[in-house]
Amino acid sequence: MSLRVICLMPRFNVTGLTAARSMSTKVDSKNIGFIGLGNMGGPMASNLMKRGHKLHVFDVSKSASDKMKALGAKVYDKTTDLAGNSEFVVTMLPNNDIVWNTYEEMTASGVNKDTIFIDSSTIDPNVAKQVQKLVKSKGARFVDAPVSGGVPGAENATLTFMVGGTEDEYNCVKGVLEGMGKRITHCGGYGMGQAAKLCNNMLLGISMIGVSEAMNLAMRLGLDPKTFSDIVNSSTGRCWSSEVYNPVPGVTPGAPANKNYAGGFSTDLITKDLGLASGVATASNTPIPMGAMAHQMYRTLKSHGYGSKDFSIVYEFLKNEKNN
Amino acid sequence: MSLRVICLMPRFNVTGLTAARSMSTKVDSKNIGFIGLGNMGGPMASNLMKRGHKLHVFDVSKSASDKMKALGAKVYDKTTDLAGNSEFVVTMLPNNDIVWNTYEEMTASGVNKDTIFIDSSTIDPNVAKQVQKLVKSKGARFVDAPVSGGVPGAENATLTFMVGGTEDEYNCVKGVLEGMGKRITHCGGYGMGQAAKLCNNMLLGISMIGVSEAMNLAMRLGLDPKTFSDIVNSSTGRCWSSEVYNPVPGVTPGAPANKNYAGGFSTDLITKDLGLASGVATASNTPIPMGAMAHQMYRTLKSHGYGSKDFSIVYEFLKNEKNN
Amino acid sequence: MSLRVICLMPRFNVTGLTAARSMSTKVDSKNIGFIGLGNMGGPMASNLMKRGHKLHVFDVSKSASDKMKALGAKVYDKTTDLAGNSEFVVTMLPNNDIVWNTYEEMTASGVNKDTIFIDSSTIDPNVAKQVQKLVKSKGARFVDAPVSGGVPGAENATLTFMVGGTEDEYNCVKGVLEGMGKRITHCGGYGMGQAAKLCNNMLLGISMIGVSEAMNLAMRLGLDPKTFSDIVNSSTGRCWSSEVYNPVPGVTPGAPANKNYAGGFSTDLITKDLGLASGVATASNTPIPMGAMAHQMYRTLKSHGYGSKDFSIVYEFLKNEKNN
Amino acid sequence: MSLRVICLMPRFNVTGLTAARSMSTKVDSKNIGFIGLGNMGGPMASNLMKRGHKLHVFDVSKSASDKMKALGAKVYDKTTDLAGNSEFVVTMLPNNDIVWNTYEEMTASGVNKDTIFIDSSTIDPNVAKQVQKLVKSKGARFVDAPVSGGVPGAENATLTFMVGGTEDEYNCVKGVLEGMGKRITHCGGYGMGQAAKLCNNMLLGISMIGVSEAMNLAMRLGLDPKTFSDIVNSSTGRCWSSEVYNPVPGVTPGAPANKNYAGGFSTDLITKDLGLASGVATASNTPIPMGAMAHQMYRTLKSHGYGSKDFSIVYEFLKNEKNN
């Protein structure tokens, strides 16, 4: 009850949004802070503006901020000022340390208690929990809401958000996140959005190597790749990596394999996610033999210069090419 | 064209099948030899009889033969005699050596050139190719047609058959196999049925461990298993092992995990399949790091006494139970 | 030169050490603080007293402190007071966080600039570097000096110390460390003691599994374990784990394998070390496929209740015992 | 007793060996057949001649045979003829199939019962056992005696021979093998020479990767490679691969790492040995997680074109070179 009240009672005067409101009558325009305007954050912030929200932005890169300014966002030098003018603050940052430092600095001199902070970075669930405690200690609310869907998802507002927080907080942030994605999932309490993302991506990283090995072996034994993938996809080996994102060129239309492994989900990113998964597995003393092996394989791929390529390039890496 | 002729022209006098024929008007009753009447072969042969075929059977175990006799099959002491009276011969045997020795003995004194031999055992694709050459050298035809679906599939005639042979041969055996399964897939030339099965099952073995690790880690991090599996199943980690056969008790209705890992697809069998996959990978010099690791893990499970349990028990094996 | 001066110029009045001094004329008696009096720290502190040093001790466990008191040590409630009275402070603590928090608290109100801090805990080299910076910022000196040799080494003063610090600092702490160990190695700059320990132990963890697999396979193939280990030990497979610490009962006299894997170097500890190695590998983006796999295997052993057993029990874990 | 008699009673007239005999008075000149005159077999046969034996040789390559002819060997077209004139027959062949086929053909029409056959190829211990049975069924004797030491060992007559056979047979062949190597080890019954070699080399393959990972991680953490290897070599990580054959250039004088990984023990050969180990592990249902992983890694190296390089090049493969 009280939650609904909080969510519907804007404490801020939203100005200059008349036009946007009339364009998009369904959306209740909000003042939204956005910190981190990179390949993901840039299009996400942009989509929020298209949706009718007023954006307050910060980035260490001036050019990234300038782009948003050109689209109508207000640019800030200090995150404390940004947070002071925002009902919601979305952070989209590269790693644990930067997330923690950003929140420490932003909340150091206190925060508006009605502001809800949403971290969409991919970080250690335990760091997410610590950030929540920090924000709560200042009197405000925080949820973790990492995404999947990559740059295309960010650009087309088709991301999946995995939210960790209370049911009430989930309901509160859902509307805002819908401006950037099409699936907003409630995963559980604080940190559980991060946990869900890491565990899912660990499985993804394993499956992709599994599909790569199976396709490669099948082809070396004489099977046609299309025939074999059809068999797998209607059988017990079926998985997203074989059906939607097959690593063998020519098998799945639209997959990065058909574009020389450009775009997609980079080896750098899956390695980062598996590194985080590995860290939480160590901390929780959970055996992940396959996850650890997948981590090492992608890390080896990075060593060999494939960091920026789509992670399905592991197929190319395994394929026998240079001798018998 | 000529194929159709061959398939429809029985060279044998089929006797004593009047009743069966009238029962099952759609099926063209055949004389079918069946060698290997174990947990799989027994119900498969039985289903062929239900379908209206005349069965000629052989097994080293007298009790297995006797059961078939009671159901109306003709029991043989010598596979050569069995083959001499059969339009089709189905073999369902435990391993490479037994398959090879059986075919060598059965064909030693020549075969009826119209008989089609179908091996549904799971063996090395290269052995399947050698058996095909042997049978061909005697003037008859051979296809490999391993199955998936396990004992329940054998009992309910819902197996999947993966056929390796020519298009004509595939069309020729399809009708017979339909008496024992519901999906009859043409995978390619000789040995390709075996290759497809091994590669699919390698991927299955990898995925199941991947799902087990991801579910276990997710739960230790605090996620609800049902919530997490729902997230995975609508995301990039989605696979058969998570959707249909989840290794965590209580997640997928009907999965062996809910019955203390009884029934299903045994650790012994996935270990056997991964051993065969490993063998062909070595022979073809194909790297299968994940497949090899999965093989070792299931083999370790066997060492720990879980050979007869469903292979999804790998989740229980990984789960931290005795101390953290 | 100046180093020698610093090392030999005690700034503290050493009282009540007359007896000790006369017992051990070779040693220049020092006031040494010792924090962390567990299974390792207890005997180490005790050996320093036997050597003629005056001990100032702290532990969160009163009973651990009381034991040292009975042996003549002065017990403290606050580490700041302890450090204030010590020329050298040795810390022997369980993990990164406890080490960091201890140093933060101990140095919060400043330190005596002549005190040299020595951390003999096993922690992340990067944390060691941070602690060094902290201590340096207060004006004092710090080296990392983790040990190998386990509880027996601690008890018999036969530990190996791996020291990270400047050449001067190494020379300064060497004399003190010789009261607790027999090999004091200078590994490089700050953190390099920890780095050397983690990398060596990662190799040890891998070798032990390698020896276990090789011994097990050899025996299953029919080789006599003693004969095979003799062959290995005079061949290219030779390693410490096969020569000195063979995991098969009856092969190496004195190895834990002969005492039902009691004592020795526990699975818990090798798992901790491999977890740290895994962490620094992730942070430095270094592929360690075998190291990661070894980590997962020992972690699985822990799950199965073998945490407190010597790590060579991995042989028993791999050995086929329950079925074929 | 009887053994000694058999060994010392040559049934053949050895001609034209007067000069050799006078040169090498210690050696009892024998008629020795040698089949397989490649990189290993060539120098081995040559050393036997230098020792004063009369060589009877066969190879599928005419140029290989011609070389031996030039050195004084008698060249044969048929292995049966060769065996008929030899007291000992040494075979040095590439794989299971060629060994089996060679022995089948060579013994098809019977053998001289006094001839002792020695197979120095590296093959599956089970195939060695089968060959022994075959030879025994013809009335003669057979031992397996694979080697380690590589081409330099073959050239300098410093090979290690691992002999599988009875004590008597071991004593019988020892003198001949001493003409080609300096350590002749009796490993146990038939096949045990092969078993010992495979198990030792599996451990070697694992250790080399372990050392490579540890050295690489140590260096990335800031340790000096020489300092770190010294620490390891006097500590628990010590192994042949770190002490004698360090994979990091500049650490061990004489190691292939210093010659751009030329020469030494090729990745192709360790991959072959690990493939054989993997096969016997599968057949005996023995878990070898590390061995399997090592196998896959060397196989991946082959795929990347490093098959002919020394196997210590795995260090280069793991080292981060192309990006962060």
Tens of pLDDT along C257-287? 999 999 789 999 999 999 999 999 999 999 9
The pLDDT value given to residue D27? 65
Of B221, B240, B288, the CB nearest to A195: B221
Q: Is residue B217 scored above 90 in pLDDT?
A: yes
pLDDT, tens digit only, all 324 positions of chain A: 333 333 433 334 333 333 333 344 456 899 999 999 999 999 999 999 999 999 999 999 999 999 999 999 999 999 999 999 999 999 999 999 999 999 999 999 999 999 999 999 999 999 999 999 999 999 999 999 999 988 889 999 999 999 999 999 999 999 999 999 999 999 999 999 999 999 999 999 999 999 999 999 999 999 999 999 999 999 999 999 999 999 999 999 989 999 999 978 999 999 999 999 999 999 999 999 999 999 999 999 999 999 999 999 999 999 966 544
Q: What is the pLDDT, as a whole number, of residue A322?
A: 56
Q: Are residues D137 and D207 in the same domain?
A: no
Q: What is the pLDDT of residue A72?
A: 96
Whether B3 maps to a domain, the answer reads: no
pLDDT computed for residue B324 by the predictor: 42
Helix (H, G, I), strand (E, B) or coil at D74: strand
Q: What is the CA radius of gyration of chain C?
A: 21
Give the best residue of A235, A240, A316, A321 to mutate against chain B (max B CB count within 10 A): A235
Q: Judging by beta carbons within 10 Å of its beta carbon (0-12, 13-18, 19+), is residue B236 exposed, middle or buried? A: buried
Higher pLDDT, B3 or D299: D299
Q: Residue A123's domain is classified under what CATH number?
A: 3.40.50.720
DSSP bridge pairs for C90: C34, C118
Domain boundary among A154, A189, A224: A189
Check residue C122 and give its pLDDT.
96
Exposure of A109 by Cβ count < 10 A (0-12 exposed, 13-18 middle, 19+ buried)?
A: exposed
Share of chain C above pLDDT 70, in %: 90
Interface probe with C: pick from A130, A206, A285, A303, most Cβ of C within 10 Å? A285
What is the nearest CA distance from B205 to chain C, expressed in angstroms? 18
Instruction: Please report which confidence band the pLDDT of residue C320 belongs to, taking 50, 70 and 90 as the band edges.
Output: low
**Claim to verify: residue C170 and residue C63 sit in the same structural domain:** yes
Helix (H), strand (E) at residue B77: none
* pLDDT range class, residue C27, cuts 50, 70, 90: low
CATH number, position B290:
1.10.1040.10
Last residue of a domain, one of D148, D164, D189: D189
- Which pLDDT does position C230 carry in this prediction? 95
CB atoms within 10 A of CB C77: 9
Domain count, chain D: 2
Q: Kindly report, residue by residue over B54-94, the tens digit of the pLDDT.
A: 999 999 999 999 999 999 999 999 999 999 999 999 999 99
pLDDT given at position A264 = 85
Mean pLDDT of chain C: 91
Helix or strand or coil: residue B268? helix
List of chain D residues whose C-beta atoms are within 8 Å of the C-beta of residue B275: 282
Q: Do A214 and B203 touch (CB under 8 A)?
A: yes
pLDDT at B27: 65
ipTM: 0.89
Determine the Cα–Cα distance for residues C294 and C271; give it in Å rounded to an integer.
9
Q: How far apart are CA D159 and CA D152, in angstroms?
A: 8
The DSSP-derived string for D81-128 is HHHHT-SEEEE--SSHHHHHHHHHHHHTT---TT-EEEE-S---HHHH
Domain encompassing residue B45: 31-189
Cα–Cα nearest to C116, from C92, C93, C91: C91
Cα-Cα-Cα-Cα dihedral sign, residues A106, A108, A113, A116: positive
In a domain, A9, yes or no: no
pLDDT in tens, C114-146: 999 999 999 999 999 999 999 999 999 999 999
Q: Are residues C141 and C252 in the same domain?
A: no
Looking only at the bridges linking them, the beta strands covering D54-58 and A147-148 are unpaired
**Residue C22 domain flag:** no
Q: Are residues C235 and C125 in the same domain?
A: no
**Contact criterion met (CB < 8 Å) for D296 and B282:** no
Residue B9 lies in a domain: no
- Best interface-test mutation with C: which of B95, B304, B319 has the largest number of C CBs within 10 A? B304
For B123-151, what is each residue's pLDDT tens digit? 999 999 999 999 999 999 999 999 998 88
Residue B256 placed within a domain: yes
From A78, A197, A226, A309, the catalytic residue: A197
Q: Which residues pair with D142 in a beta bridge?
A: D117
3-state helix, strand, coil in chain A (%, to 5): 50, 15, 35
Question: Residue A219: inside a domain, yes or no?
Answer: yes
Is A139 in the same domain as A166? yes
Of all residues in chain C, the one with the smallest CA distance to D213 is C288
Rounded distance between C-alpha atoms, residue D203 and residue A254, angstroms: 45
The pLDDT, as a whole number, for residue D7 is 42
**Given C197, C272, C302, C319, the catalytic residue:** C197
Ramachandran class of A294: left when φ > 0, alpha when ψ lies in -120 to 50, beta otherwise:
alpha
pTM for the complete prediction?
0.88
- Chain D: closest CA distance from residue C225 (Å): 10
Nearest to B322 among C293, C305, C317 (CB): C305
pLDDT at D25: 42
Are C201 and C255 members of one domain? yes
Average pLDDT over residues B262-285: 94
Report d(CA C286, CA D324) in Å as an integer.
9
| pLDDT confidence band for B23 (50 / 70 / 90) | very low
What's the gap between Cα B256 and its chain centre? Answer: 19
- Diameter over CA atoms, chain C: 70
Q: In this model, does residue C215 exceed pLDDT 70?
A: yes
Instruction: Indicate the residue among B135, B166, B189 that finishes a domain.
Output: B189
**C299, C224: one domain:** yes
> Do residue B213 and residue A289 have CB atoms under 8 angstroms apart?
yes
Cβ–Cβ of B213/A240 closer than 8 Å?
no
Q: Are residues C73 and C178 in the same domain?
A: yes
C51 and C134 housed in the same domain: yes
Contact A296 C287 (CB under 8 A): yes
Rounded to a whole number of angstroms, the distance from the CA of A77 to the nearest CA of chain C is 30
Q: Which residues of B are catalytic?
A: 197
Q: Distance (Å, rounded) from C-alpha D207 to C-alpha D302?
A: 18
Flag whether C201 is in a domain.
yes
Point out which residues pair with D57 in neighbouring strands.
Answer: D34, D75
Asked whether the beta carbons of residue C285 and residue A299 sit closer than 8 angstroms, the reply is: yes
D220 → chain C, closest CA residue:
C284
Place of tokens 């207000």: A74
Q: Could you tell me if A247 and A287 lie in one domain?
A: yes
All partners of chain D with 3 or more CB pairs under 8 angstroms? A, B, C
Q: Are residues B38 and B184 in the same domain?
A: yes
Question: CB-side exposure of D26: number of CA atoms within 13 Å?
Answer: 6
**Statement to judge: residues D181 and D209 lie in one domain:** no
* CA gap D4, D13 in Å, rounded: 19
| Tens place of pLDDT per residue across chain D (324 aa) | 333 333 433 334 333 333 333 344 456 899 999 999 999 999 999 999 999 999 999 999 999 999 999 999 999 999 999 999 999 999 999 999 999 999 999 999 999 999 999 999 999 999 999 999 999 999 999 999 999 988 889 999 999 999 999 999 999 999 999 999 999 999 999 999 999 999 999 999 999 999 999 999 999 999 999 999 999 999 999 999 999 999 999 999 989 999 999 978 999 999 999 999 999 999 999 999 999 999 999 999 999 999 999 999 999 999 966 544
**Is position B2 within any domain?**
no
Between CA C254 and CA C267 the distance in angstroms is: 18
Q: Is the Cβ pair D324, A302 closer than 8 Å?
A: yes
